[in-house]
Amino acid sequence: MEVGSNISIRNTFHIPAKARTLITYGREDVEELVTYLQHEGCGQKVLHVGAGSNLLFMGDYDGIVLCSDIREINTCGELVRVGAAWVVDDLIAWTLRNGLYGLENLSLIPGTVGAAAVQNIGAYGSEAAEFICEVETLELQTGCIRIWKPEELEYGYRKSVFKKPDMWGRYAVLSVTFRLSRTFVPKLGYGGLRNRVGTDNPTAEQVRQAVIDIRREKLPDPEVLGNAGSFFVNPVVKKEKADALKSQYPEMPSYDVENGVKIPAGWMIEQCGWKGRSLGPAAVHDRQALVLVNKGGATGEDIAHLSDAVCKAVWDKFGVEIRPEVNFI
Answer whether 302's CB lies under 8 Å from 231's CB: no
- Residue type for position 219: L
Q: Which of 234, 294, 299, 307 binds ligand EPU (CB under 6 A)?
A: 234
CB-nearer residue toward ligand EPU: 46 or 211: 211
How far from each other are the two terminal CA atoms of the chain, in whole angstroms? 24
**Distances from the Cα of 213 to the Cαs of 205, 223, 226, 267, in angstroms?**
12, 17, 19, 21
CB-nearer residue toward ligand EPU: 126 or 299: 126
Residue 248's H or E segment, with its range, is helix 239-248
Note if 230 is an active site residue.
yes
Number of residues that bind ligand EPU (CB under 6 A): 18
Q: Which of 160, 230, 254, 307 binds ligand EPU (CB under 6 A)?
A: 230
Residue of 10, 20, 158, 194 marked catalytic: 158
Compute the distance between CA of residue 191 and CA of residue 123 in angstroms, rounded to an integer.
11
Note if 10 is an active site residue.
no
Q: Which of residues 249-308 bind ligand EPU (CB under 6 A)?
A: 253, 264, 266-267, 270, 275, 288-290
Note if 160 is an active site residue.
no
CA geometry: angle 146, 150, 155, nearest 5 deg: 110
Q: Which of residues 307-326 bind ligand EPU (CB under 6 A)?
A: 325
Closest CB 170 distance from ligand EPU, rounded Å: 24
HSE-up of residue 85 (Cα within 13 Å, Cβ side): 11
156 is a contact residue toward ligand EPU (CB under 6 A) = no
11 is a contact residue toward ligand EPU (CB under 6 A) = no
120 is a contact residue toward ligand EPU (CB under 6 A) = no
Compute the distance between CA of residue 238 and CA of residue 222 in angstroms, rounded to an integer.
34
Instruction: Give the number of other CB atoms < 10 A from CB of residue 152.
Output: 12
Residue of 126, 160, 175, 230 marked catalytic: 230
Q: Can you give the binding site for ligand EPU, defined by CB under 6 A?
A: 123-124, 218-219, 229-230, 233-234, 253, 264, 266-267, 270, 275, 288-290, 325
Active-site residue numbers? 158, 230, 325
